[in-house]
Amino acid sequence: MAIDYSLYLVADTASAFGRDLPALVASAVEGGVTVVQLRSKALPLRDLLGLAAWIKGPLDKAGVPLLINDRADVALACGAAGVHLGQDDLPLPEARLILGAERVIGVSVNTLEEALGAERAGADYVGLGPVFPTSTKETRLAVVGPEGVARLKAALTIPVVAIGGITAANAPSLARAGADGIAVVSAILGAADARRAARELREAFAGR
């Protein structure tokens, strides 16, 4: 499945801070988001599946694919385009057995070694981060910067999506480094106007 990763929204339920997440996602898509990942570490499985189905309907109409964080079973059950896996989540080969060859599987990476391993295992893309310091997600991982993006792009044949601390101000540096897309959480979910924030990020990454 071909996906435009240029503006990738991680729709994290905790980062919506009680606001209407489906409405935020819809506004962000109007502003130019090209792919959405639904992430929740707290919702019961039944509620996560219901939320995924609720978000997916409008995304289907807009032609924007939905990915599910970690839960290959939820991705399969709701008909999502695929799943995104962390380093401690379900191993990629097992996720592929569940989802089949036609669905997308992305993997979070922080090092070149992790990225090469993900590509060898059959990942469709990698999410590299943090590229800049971020307070959205607690992590002790090293900040890789645009230089890390450039190193991965030189070594991999699959798309590289940058994540972590990305704003409209620093997005152009990631485009210059060769990133296939930028993934954000709070830059959109925490904005007063999700549509405007998405548009500004999309334009910044595109160099406009």
CATH number of the domain that residue 73 is part of: 3.20.20.70
Active-site option among 15, 27, 39, 173: 39
Q: What are the DSSP calls for 141-176, one per residue? A: PPP-HHHHHHHHHHH-SS-EEEESS--TTTHHHHHH
Greater confidence, 100 or 18?
100
SS3 72: helix
Per-residue confidence (pLDDT) for residue 138, from 0 to 100:
64
pLDDT, position 4: 97
> How many domains, in total, are found in the chain?
1
In a domain, 189, yes or no: yes
- Structure tokens of 83? 């799943």
Q: Which of 15, 108, 173, 186 is catalytic?
A: 108
Residue 2 included in any domain: no
Has residue 140 been placed in a domain?
Answer: yes
User: For every residue of 167-188, which 3-state class applies, written as one string?
Assistant: CCCCHHHHHHHCCCEEEECHHH
Residue 208, pLDDT above cutoff 70: no
Q: Is residue 1 part of a domain?
A: no
pTM for the model stands at 0.96
User: What pLDDT is stored for residue 140 in this prediction?
Assistant: 83
Does the pLDDT at position 177 exceed 90?
yes
56 is catalytic: no
Task: Judge contact between 106 and 138, C-beta under 8 A.
Answer: no
In a domain, 23, yes or no: yes
39-61 burial, b at 16+ Cβ within 10 Å, e below that, comes to bbeebeeeebbebbeebbeebee
Beta bridge partners of 125: 106
Q: Is the pLDDT of residue 137 over 70?
A: no
Is 39 among the catalytic positions? yes
Averaged pLDDT score across all residues of the chain: 95
Domain holding 130, by residue range, is 7-205
- Any residues with CB less than 8 A from the CB of 184 and at least 6 apart, and which? 7, 8, 9, 10, 163, 166, 201
C-alpha distances in angstroms, 119 versus 89, 106, 155, 181? 16, 10, 10, 17
Mark whether 151 is an active-site residue.
no
